[in-house]
Structures are given as structure tokens and as C-alpha cells.
Amino acid sequence: MRQPLVAGNWKMNGSQESIKTLLSGIKSGMGRVNNAEVAVCAPAIYIPMAQAELQDSGVAWGGQDVSTEASGAFTGEISTAMLQDFGCKYAIVGHSERRTYHGESDQYVAKKYAAARAAGLVPILCIGETLEEREQGITEEVVARQLDAVIELEGVAALANGVIAYEPVWAIGTGKTATPDQAQDVHQFIRGRVAAHDQAVADGVRILYGGSMKPDNAAELISKPDIDGGLIGGASLKADDFLGICEAAN
Ligand code: PEP
């Protein structure tokens, strides 16, 4: 049985003041959540605040990206050890915004996945097609290519220590959610692709949906057999909305 995971991706949003309010709102509303594991991925500079506020709250925290390198002359990068130094459990890798704006290739993302996993962090591997790719009918080809890069580098067993997030790029931040059936089709394809290598890993790996998930559409999405929770952007910035999604997994 896979425990649902609802993870917030705050992206480059917030201030000390707003994040304090958000964290205390999430913490105090955790009584509403009785099934999902809950996590927040904060901008790196605010991770110490997440650690201070969320200790013993039942909410995990993580980074939105991580370096492939262990340490040294990599200006601006954050290492796995740094995330761990501040108690992070999760690290998002390969978010479409990093693939698009920072030119991260499938192979580079796979290296990030490997670095996070080797350090004992749980990587959240984001994969998903653009609108153009969906319209060309190559959604499966795209997500297979993104997934295979990790399997080729690390072997399928590496997916047992991670989480996959299917995030159709056309649904991220646009208000256009994939229908539950559209999302389930791709989730089923992803699980099947993993199963072709290893059925047990496929049965165990959590595949989150991400893309304009909100309290009012979350339950229907998460009720699908291969959708094991959500990676939430915009709606994770308001405690009540985020908790509403966590509750939808109850
Ligand atoms: C995301 O950025 O991972 C995401 C899913 O964003 P949103 O929920 O805002 O579409």
C-alpha cells in the first residue's frame, strides 16, 4: 500500500514574514490530515525556518533543487550535504522550470537524482510533456525518455528510494489541470514502464501528479489508482488550500 504524499513546491515565493505565517498555519492544521505524508520544499534560504518550525510537526521539508557536486567551486549551488545539514528529507530534481530556464538535460537531472539518492535524500523526479509535445502525440515518448535517463544511469532499483512527479508542463501554474483520466493514463504508463524492469519497484514507487492541483480537484485525481498524491505549486502558498489538498488524500 503506497502512502499518499502531498508536497508543496513554493518556488521563488515568500518572505520571512509570509513563510512564518504559512508554516504555522500548516503546522496547526495538521490535525485535518490523517492519511497523507506532508512535505514542503522551500526556497533554499528559508529552509532553516522550515526546520525550526516543523521539527516534530509531522511535516517533512526539502529543497527545490540540488547540485550534482559534493562541494567546492560551484557558485550559487546547494549540495546534498547542505540540505541534510538542515534536516531536509526531500529534494526536487528536474522541475520543468529548471529544465526550461536553466537548460537541464535528462542526463543532468539523472545525475542530480543520483547525487540526492546517494546522500540519503529522497529525490522527487519531475517529468512531463509540453503542450506542443502533447499535441504532437508524443507524451509517452517524452516521459519515457526523462524516466529512462535515471534508469540508465542508476538502474531501476534507484526508483525504490525516490518519488516520481508527473507534471504536464501545460498544466503548471496555468489553472489548466489534466483531467483525472488524462493524468491516470500517463501515471499508468509510467508505472508500466518501471514494471517492465521490476514489478516490485513499480508497485512501491509513488507517482505524484502536479499541475494546478487544488482542494476542489485533488480528491478526484488522487482517487485514481496510479496517482499517489500531488506536487503542489500555487496552492501550497496558502495553508488552508494546501491542507485542503492534504485532506483530499484522507
Ligand atoms: C509545480 O510547480 O510543481 C506545480 C505543480 O505548480 P502549480 O501547482 O502551480 O501548477
Instruction: Give the nearest ligand 1 atom to 92 CA.
Output: 3
User: What is the tens place of the pLDDT at every residue in 117-176?
Assistant: 999 999 999 999 999 999 999 999 999 999 999 999 999 999 999 999 999 999 999 999
Is residue 187 part of the annotated active site? The answer reads: no
Report if pTM > 0.85. Answer: yes
Q: CA 134 to CA 123: how far, in whole Å?
A: 26
Domains and CATH numbers, the chain: 33-248 (3.20.20.70)
Is residue 69 part of the annotated active site? The answer reads: no
- Mean model confidence pLDDT for the chain: 97
Q: What is the mean pLDDT of residues 24-53?
A: 97
Q: How confident is the model at residue 1 (pLDDT cuts 50, 70, 90)?
A: confident
The answer to whether residue 102 scores a pLDDT higher than 90 is yes
Nearest protein Cα to ligand 1, atom 8: 233
User: What is the tens place of the pLDDT at every residue in 12-27?
Assistant: 999 999 999 999 999 9
